[in-house]
Amino acid sequence: MTKPASRPLPPDRIKAAMKAIWAWRADANKPVACPVCGAGGLVIVDRSARPHAEWYNLSCQVCGLEHVLHIPMSTPIGGSDI
């Protein structure tokens, strides 16, 4: 099978991608739909390394999406437990 060329997330799909991440964080066992092509099975990898920002690697094998989404955490949720 030929893998489609990898492509970044279109700017107008960032909101959809963030929704996909929230859904994934709520239930990581549920298949998440790709924000670009809508196919299930979006792969999300949490690469957050800092307390005030989150990084998520999104990849879709169907349309070739390959993108790292940066979510700045301007409003801390809850207290720090570290």
Which among 58, 57, 51 has a CA at the least distance from the CA of 74? 51
Query: Among residues 38 and 51, whose Cβ is nearest to Zn ion?
Result: 38
The distance of closest approach from Cβ of residue 49 to Zn ion in the complex, given in angstroms and rounded to an integer, is: 26
Residues 72, 24: Cα–Cα separation, whole Å: 18
Binding positions for Zn ion, rule: CB under 5 A: 34, 36-37, 60, 62-63, 65
Do 54 and 71 touch, CB atoms closer than 8 A? yes
Query: Among residues 18 and 37, whose Cβ is nearest to Zn ion?
Result: 37
The distance of closest approach from Cβ of residue 64 to Zn ion in the complex, given in angstroms and rounded to an integer, is: 7
